[in-house]
Structure 1
């Protein structure tokens, strides 16, 4: 077996050649998984092809978090995750990463009863004041354009890169090693367990978790998930918010997919679906889409019509329809190598579910290969 070379950058000590679990991808989900595994005493190696964590979809995410989602399975994870983002005791920084600006989720009036039920569930679990408004022209700085809205005053947004860094710092403190600038070339079975082939050498593992986001659409051998995954373009713009524009909460319109969030005191991030499939992650921004986003969101934020433009960022994320598979239904998918799993495609919503999803994924891996550690 070749030894890992010294050309990669890492934290937490030398790159090991044998660990309990290899996590591929140092984005927000991979960091959450690594944090929980290391906290439970599992030896963990995180491999990231970029020179630093959060270099992919995580670093370009808007970071909006709220407890509500139309999918009950996602809603459960989002509710637990919002609680984690509000809890200062879970973070190395000593402060909760959540910016509590509130969240407004707009839907068709026909969904009012379902939204009211969701508000009751959220309040019962989190002791918050989520509520539904109907017949209002505006709520929390956003016009509803004929919709009904679920308002979550306790929700808001996080900075995904900061959350990722905090989890990785905790993982390193618990013994994990983070190897950046290391490319995984394949995963093979060796004696019933996976062997990870990298451009720096070979690592033997009890299990492998692939959390690579849009790169799951073009996996290396051994990391192909059971269900098809495609990459889809994501593009957001930043604009200045000048008086008389009022402050606003995070905003999502389920009817159109339009969204917005405040960025600091005087800027707003805006976005809408960019249905360009299989585009490279580093594609150039689409000016027509950026202009269309401003036009579409002006119905909700009229001041956008004259707002100074700042910048546009384009990236991609993984989209798919994961099958019900073991060991965690809907969270992990098997690959063609035993004890190697791919994290489900979050369809753009990984940040709001990462705390709870990371915990459950780590628990499933521990139950399979390290049940005597917890």
Structure 2
């Protein structure tokens, strides 16, 4: 992908500037570019997807406890399954299945959810109760919604594909360019960077956890906080069986395959206002292994290969407004901030990107700058 470095022919005008080249910013840029907008994507890192996106586990499934998230996750799973949607010609979904473990009292709600998923996707989602395990995951006394057609994606791979499509449609991607401020320039935004100024019809900020300390003019109305996430990759050797992705709604524990002989494990690490690049917490690593042994009995004997700590952005969903609450104003005309996804950005990115692009195109692209 032609990624332009700092100071290399930065445009002075654009229909839309997208700040942040992670998975959500890439989705928005792709959707806007295919609608004919002249899009410029800016990111302070040396390459796209280098921040929170690159550290994400990438689990995708249609089910979510939050109906607003579920409404985005279901069509997003359909997009991840469809090879025609991708420049590579291959669907990025690794369809290893997804298991959502919950308290048995939630059985009726899970069955209704499975029916909705199957009606929309023609899939085979179903509820497992009274069983010891499902798809290689021990249920530890819970009930499970199983989505055999779900699984996981590689977020950096998805980001790259969308940006390739955006560039093919005329977008420009500039990494290693830091945005210093976004200012009101006669009713339209001016994006001040360390490589020049871009006057735009609109600006969309999709910076994830960096929204907790944004530059002037990109701050959303709702306070954004960061919460630590920490995951480890462990070696999975026979007789350890293959398994689906899973999350236990009772505890927040989760795991996913990370290759033929690797598994990613994690559980909540509720350290608020955590730096994005904080060092790993060794005590949490051991606590995660111990806790997840109830679901993956082979785990205590597995070798830990690496541990990564990052942060997610957390905030209440914006109430209404553009794209039904997907965007918030920042106080500068035609500048919006994408909502904090509370850890669900990958799962929602395809549909969120489409809806955000629709909203921005309707309000910002006519007249063009």
State if a TM-score over 0.5 links the two structures. Answer: yes
For residue 92 of structure 1, what is the aligned residue in structure 2? 87
Structure 2 counterpart of 1:45, from 27, 40, 44:
40
For residue 155 of structure 1, what is the aligned residue in structure 2? 150
Residue 98 of structure 1: CA displacement?
0.3
Asked whether 1:341 is paired with 2:342, we answer no
For residue 252 of structure 1, what is the aligned residue in structure 2? 247
1:119-142 alpha-carbon deviations (Å, 9 max, x no partner) = 000000000000001111111001
For residue 326 of structure 1, what is the aligned residue in structure 2? 321
| TM-score, structure 2 as length reference | 0.97
For residues 87 and 158 of structure 2, what CA distance do their matches in structure 1 show? 10
For residue 3 of structure 1, what is the aligned residue in structure 2? none
For residues 367 and 55 of structure 2, what CA distance do their matches in structure 1 show? 38
Change (3 A) 1:175 1:138: same
Tell me if structure 1 keeps the 8 A contact 2:81–2:92: yes
Tell me if structure 2 keeps the 8 A contact 1:240–1:307: yes
Asked whether 1:123 is paired with 2:118, we answer yes
Tell me if structure 2 keeps the 8 A contact 1:194–1:340: yes
For residues 74 and 260 of structure 1, what CA distance do their matches in structure 2 show? 20
For residues 47 and 265 of structure 1, what CA distance do their matches in structure 2 show? 35
Residue 15 of structure 1: CA displacement?
2.2
Residues 275-290 of structure 1 mapped to structure 2, 5 A cutoff = 275-290=270-285
Residue 223 of structure 1: CA displacement?
0.6
Structure 1 counterpart of 2:210, from 202, 211, 215:
215
For residues 317 and 197 of structure 1, what CA distance do their matches in structure 2 show? 26
Residues 67-86 of structure 1 mapped to structure 2, 5 A cutoff = 67-86=62-81
1:15-51 alpha-carbon deviations (Å, 9 max, x no partner) = 2101110000000000000001000100000000001
Tell me if structure 1 keeps the 8 A contact 2:7–2:195: no
Gaps of 5+ in 2: none
For residue 293 of structure 2, what is the aligned residue in structure 1? 298
Residue 344 of structure 1: CA displacement?
0.3
1:257-287 alpha-carbon deviations (Å, 9 max, x no partner) = 0000011111100000110111111111000
* Matched positions, count: 365
For residues 47 and 230 of structure 2, what CA distance do their matches in structure 1 show? 22
For residues 316 and 204 of structure 1, what CA distance do their matches in structure 2 show? 31
- Detail structure 1 runs of 4+ shifted over 6 Å in the superposition: none
For residue 61 of structure 2, what is the aligned residue in structure 1? 66
Give the secondary-structure state (helix, strand or coil) at the position aligned to 2:183.
Answer: strand
Residue 331 of structure 1: CA displacement?
0.6
Give the secondary-structure state (helix, strand or coil) at the position aligned to 1:255.
Answer: coil
Give the secondary-structure state (helix, strand or coil) at the position aligned to 2:271.
Answer: coil
Tell me if structure 1 keeps the 8 A contact 2:318–2:339: no
Change (3 A) 1:363 1:372: farther
Asked whether 1:350 is paired with 2:345, we answer yes
For residues 125 and 5 of structure 2, what CA distance do their matches in structure 1 show? 51
Tell me if structure 2 keeps the 8 A contact 1:322–1:333: no
Give the secondary-structure state (helix, strand or coil) at the position aligned to 2:127.
Answer: strand
Structure 2 counterpart of 1:181, from 158, 176, 180:
176
For residues 20 and 115 of structure 1, what CA distance do their matches in structure 2 show? 43
For residue 106 of structure 1, what is the aligned residue in structure 2? 101
Give the secondary-structure state (helix, strand or coil) at the position aligned to 1:113.
Answer: helix
Q: CA RMSD in A?
A: 1.2
Residue 338 of structure 1: CA displacement?
1.0
| TM-score, structure 1 as length reference | 0.96
Asked whether 1:269 is paired with 2:264, we answer yes
For residues 156 and 96 of structure 1, what CA distance do their matches in structure 2 show? 12
Residues 30-41 of structure 1 mapped to structure 2, 5 A cutoff = 30-41=25-36
For residues 74 and 9 of structure 1, what CA distance do their matches in structure 2 show? 39
For residues 53 and 364 of structure 1, what CA distance do their matches in structure 2 show? 24
For residues 107 and 372 of structure 1, what CA distance do their matches in structure 2 show? 50
Tell me if structure 1 keeps the 8 A contact 2:5–2:175: no
For residues 283 and 294 of structure 1, what CA distance do their matches in structure 2 show? 20
